[in-house]
Each structure stands twice: as structure tokens, then as C-alpha cells.
Structure 1
Amino acid sequence: MGLFWLIGQLPWRLLQAIGRGLGRLAWYLAKKRRHIAQTNIRLCFPELTPEEQDELAHRSVISTGEAILEMAGSYNNHRIDLNKNLTVTGMEHIEACQARGEGVLLLGMHFNTLDTCSRMLATLVDIHAVYRPNDNPVIDRLIDRGRRHYVRSTVDRTDIRQMLRLLRSGEIVWYAPDQDYGTAHALFVPFFGIPAATITATSRIAKMGKAAVIPCAHYRLPGGRYEIEFGPALEHFPGGDEAADTARINQTIEHYVRKHPEQYLWVHKRFKHQPEGRPSPYKKL
């Protein structure tokens, strides 16, 4: 943790450069994560040639390395004004909900810029971040302390009551349902055309919290710049069909991932759980 703090004091562009170097090194040394990224991209982008798929996986691992170093700076160096390099689009969607006193469930996505752009996002609006506690207590403390510097609060993803209280009070809650949390309270719905175990809570939280669901994507741009993009609130959501609602969430996330696919967290086993009888796609032949 001390080393993480010390690294975070480096100039931002140097942090990014070191992070890219770390990502290039990880491509050769972190073979398990490389295999996961390659498998995900092979499944999700069948229209690409094998060479193009491998190149995309390579860039995604480099982007992940860059994100780790950016995280150190985001958590620990508060002298840096990141917002001077920020472009925001779609803010009017948030403002419209706030004007009505309506709670907002931000549909978060696990891009590699998650922590960096969350810090910038928190300077624009007050947000509460839903998270899954890390299995390692030291890492969990590092992440939670880092995020608490800029979000109003962090909420355990199992604390549905707190999410509902915040939303009904007109607050903004960031919530990302785009990881494989197992098959409990989940349905297999397509993500890039592949069955993915997807938690179904998004529609229930939105309904019970009387909240609008607004997509929130964030990207790293050339020249050290960043972009946060808010999409329009999902219309007629939830629609009453749990499977259709869950599939719609995945379709929405896929739309934003396709804009900068190399920046998505492909090193996560998004398709770890499969319908009964289907083998794991990550098993090496």
C-alpha cells in the first residue's frame, strides 16, 4: 500500500507510460489473464480475423496495465486536476432527472477507466458507488479508502435496502451489473451473442427505487484526455419481463463497449458460468 501511494505521486503522463509498459509485460508474463482476454474477444468479435482478435486482446491487456497505474494516481494524488482534460456528453439527462427530484441509477460498466473517471464524475454530481468487497481485506481497504475520497458513500452490492433509500431520496447511485457474479439471482441472456450469467436486480432496483436508469460510459482518449458519456434514460424500463429487461441491459452495455472495445475489462471471466451442459470457454484444449 505504501508503494502504491508512492507511485501515485508521479506525474500523470509518466504514470500512464509506466502502466502501458506494465501491460506489455503482463501480456507475456500473466498468461492466465491473457488467455481470458483472448477467449472473451474471440467469442465476442467473431467478425474479426484471428490476427485482429489477438491485436485487440493485446491492446486490452495494455489498457488494463495503464488503468492500474492510473488508479494509484486517482486514489493518492489529489494535487492533479484531472478535469481539465475531461469532456462530458449527455449531462442534460442527469440534470433533467434532478430537476424532477427523481433518483438516478447510473448503469455502470467495467471499463479500465472506472476509478479515474469516477473521481472526475464525482466532481460533477454527488454519487454513491455500489461495489463488491474484495476477497483480500488489504486490497479491499485500499480500494474503499481510495474511492471514499471522492464519492459520497460506498454501498455493498448486497445492501439493496440502502440503494433503495438513496434512490427514493433523489440520489444518484452508480451500479454495474456487467460481471459474472454466479447463477444465483441471475439469468443467462446474450452479451455479444454469448449466453452470460447476468444478475436480474437492475430492473427490480429501478422499479422499487422509482429511479431512472441512465447509462454511464467513460473512455480514455488520445493526448491524455478522457470522456464521460451519459446516455438517455432507458424508456419503458423496467418493462415487466425480467428476461427481456436483463437482456436489454446487456445490449445497452454492448453498445458502449463497441465504441472503445480495447478499454473494456476483458481480463474478467464474463462467461465463467454457462448453462448446464455447456463447457467453460476458458478451459484450454
Structure 2
Amino acid sequence: MSSDCLVIDLYAYNCGLVTQQAMPFLYYLVLRPFSLLPSWVLYRISDVMYLIIYRIVGYRRKVVRTNIQNSFPNWTKDYHLKTEREFYVHFCDLIVESIKAFTISKKELEKRFGQRNPEIFQKYFDAGQHVTVVGGHNGNWELYAVSVGLHLPHQPLALYTKLNNEFMNEKITKSRSKYGLWMKSYEEAKEIIKRVNERPVAFIFGSDQCPNIKQKPYWTTFLNQETGVQFGTEKFARDNNTPVIYGFIHKLKRGRYEIEYRLVCENPNELEIGMISERHTRMLETDINNEPSYWLWTHKRWKRKKKDFDMYREELQSVA
């Protein structure tokens, strides 16, 4: 799961308008009061935001347009634009829903986010087995983070990197964790998995972000483009021999989501290196093709090419 927060991305870091010190004021004077509004009011605000963000400001419109065109080169221009517009409608809904997540009640959360087949986890739970869960940034992952603890037999644990802003890191962690989710670093997760006689854990990873230049990604073709896939999910599953389960969040209608789980593999170390990454990437690609408007197209997924990673390795070797 990403450590990024859509609210922070829009209001602070990308725009550079909000300092570290100003974040508490933004939260208490804007975000929290906003989150207390009824959902029907928030969706009316979302409609206005669409006109501003897409039509007037054009927030990352070039990135979105390029990503969609490169991912679906055989589509017509009209279908590219249709998907682009539908994405921005969803994107604005995602913003208000992510803010609503700060104060959403358990009753409303259960109405808005469902789990299609959580029973896939049961046999592993009964066997006392940890599992690794992998997914992408589609649908509404913030509502998934808040709700997942209500549905799984396992203790859900999201792997994340802390935000630079300590105040917002604490608020977002508290929001995501209020109904049972644990938020831990990769190193903390490795220690937790060593414990015995405790409730089995579902370790949750987001796998569709651009890898850090210092990482060694798995390279494949994804959405018609050479793509580096973060290898941390596969490495964790192999190191701990956990079954891997893929999850995709479907948007049923406005304000209604449901996650569907599918088994990637039961025994990671029986597969060739890279096969786990290949399988869950293919699953995500298929689902995006079926529901293209609800993936996070604003993300600069392909900003680093394989040659960038190769050059970085060569530079390290030259100074070694």
C-alpha cells in the first residue's frame, strides 16, 4: 500500500503551497470540517471540483493523456478522451472520499466498501498461515485501508513509508488504522512475522508505483510499455514462504466499491524468480483493461526507464 495520501499530494507537496508548519492549520480548519459534511454534499462539491481541476486548471492533464494514449495505442481519440474525462470525475470523487475517510463512521464505511470474497483467506487463517496481499491504486484504496480490518480473518498490516510531514503522517496513520489495520515499515513487518502463536497476518503491498532508482525492479511489459515492477512484494513472499493473494477494487457506482481477491500462488518458492511479479502484474493489467477509468492515471508510472536504472548501477560500480 502506498504511503502517499491523495490529499497531501494535491494540497501540499505537488503545489508547494503548504509548509510543514501550516499542515495542522490545514487539517483543523479545512480537512476535518470538510470531512464532517454529509456525503451527498461532498459529491456536489466533487462535481464543481471536476470543472476546476480538469477544465480550468488541467491538473496533470498532460500526464494523464500521455499515460492513456501510450497504454491503449489502438483506441480511437474519442475513446481516449472519454476515459480521460471519466477518470477525472472519479479522481474528484476520490479526493472528497479520501477526506471523508478521516471521520467516516463504521456504518457508512460498511455501506460504501464491501469485500466480494474474503473467504479466500479462511483456509490459510485456519492453518495459522500468514499471507501476502498485493494490489494497485485503483478504485478507492483509502476506503480499503480503513475498512479492511472489518472483514479479514487475518490481522491486516499495510507496508508503508512514513510521510515527511510528521503531523499528517500521524493523522493519516490514525485514520487508516481506526478499524483494525496496522501500518508498519518493511523492517517492522519482518520482525512481526517471526512471532509465533499470534493471529496470522495479511501483509498488504501496493505494487504499481514507479520504483525508486535505488531498487532492483522486475522488468516486464505492462499496458504496452516497458515497466519496472517493485520486487518487494515477491521478495517478502519468498523470504517468508507466504501464499500471495491479489486484490482489485471495483467501482460499482458513485460512492460504492468492492474488492475482489484472486490467488496468485500458494507456494512462492516453487516458482521461478519473477513469476510472482509477472502474475500479479498481468492480473492488474487485465483489470485495468476492463475498468480503465478508475486507475490512478495522474501517477508518473513510467518516468524511469530501464536505462536509468542501468546507468545508476554503472555509476555505483565506477565509484566503488
Q: TM-score range by the shorter chain?
A: 0.7 to 0.9
Greater CA deviation, 205-214 or 183-192? 183-192
The one-letter code sitting in structure 2 at the alignment partner of 1:134 is L
Q: Counterpart in 1 of 2:177?
A: 148
Q: Counterpart in 2 of 1:4?
A: 31
Cα distance in 2 for residues equivalent to 1:31 and 1:242: 41
Q: CA deviation at 1:213?
A: 0.8
Cα distance in 1 for residues equivalent to 2:274 and 2:196: 23
Q: Counterpart in 2 of 1:182?
A: 212
Structure 1 stretches of 4+ moved >6 Å: none
Cα distance in 1 for residues equivalent to 2:196 and 2:139: 26
Q: Check conservation: 2:134, 2:204, Cα contact below 8 A.
A: yes
RMSD of Structure 2 on Structure 1 (CA): 2.6
Cα distance in 1 for residues equivalent to 2:50 and 2:174: 25
Q: CA deviation at 1:188?
A: 2.4
Greater CA deviation, 173-182 or 243-252? 243-252
Greater CA deviation, 261-270 or 167-176? 167-176
Aligned-pair identity (%): 18
Cα distance in 1 for residues equivalent to 2:221 and 2:192: 26
Cα distance in 2 for residues equivalent to 1:84 and 1:275: 43
The one-letter code sitting in structure 1 at the alignment partner of 2:242 is A
2:96 corresponds to 1:69: yes
Q: Counterpart in 1 of 2:75?
A: 48
Give CA-to-partner distance per residue, 1:263-285, whole Å, 9 cap, x none: 1111101101012289xxxxxxx
Q: CA deviation at 1:140?
A: 2.9
Query: CA 1:151/1:166 → structure 2, altered by over 3 Å: closer, same or farther?
Result: farther
Count matched residues: 278
Equivalent of 2:263, from 232, 239, 243? 232
* Structure label with greater radius of gyration: 2
Q: Check conservation: 2:241, 2:269, Cα contact below 8 A.
A: no
Give CA-to-partner distance per residue, 1:43-99, whole Å, 9 cap, x none: 111221112112212221221221111011112233652213444322221112212
Q: Check conservation: 1:90, 1:230, Cα contact below 8 A.
A: yes
Cα distance in 1 for residues equivalent to 2:267 and 2:113: 31
2:157 corresponds to 1:128: yes
| Structure 2: tracts of 5 or more residues without a match | 1-26, 310-320
Q: Counterpart in 2 of 1:37?
A: 64
Give CA-to-partner distance per residue, 1:211-248, whole Å, 9 cap, x none: 11111121322264221211134355355433333222
Q: Check conservation: 1:186, 1:199, Cα contact below 8 A.
A: yes
Q: Check conservation: 1:93, 1:233, Cα contact below 8 A.
A: no
Q: Counterpart in 2 of 1:88?
A: 115
Q: Check conservation: 1:105, 1:174, Cα contact below 8 A.
A: yes
Greater CA deviation, 171-180 or 18-27? 18-27
The one-letter code sitting in structure 2 at the alignment partner of 1:176 is G
Partner secondary structure for residue 76 of structure 1: coil
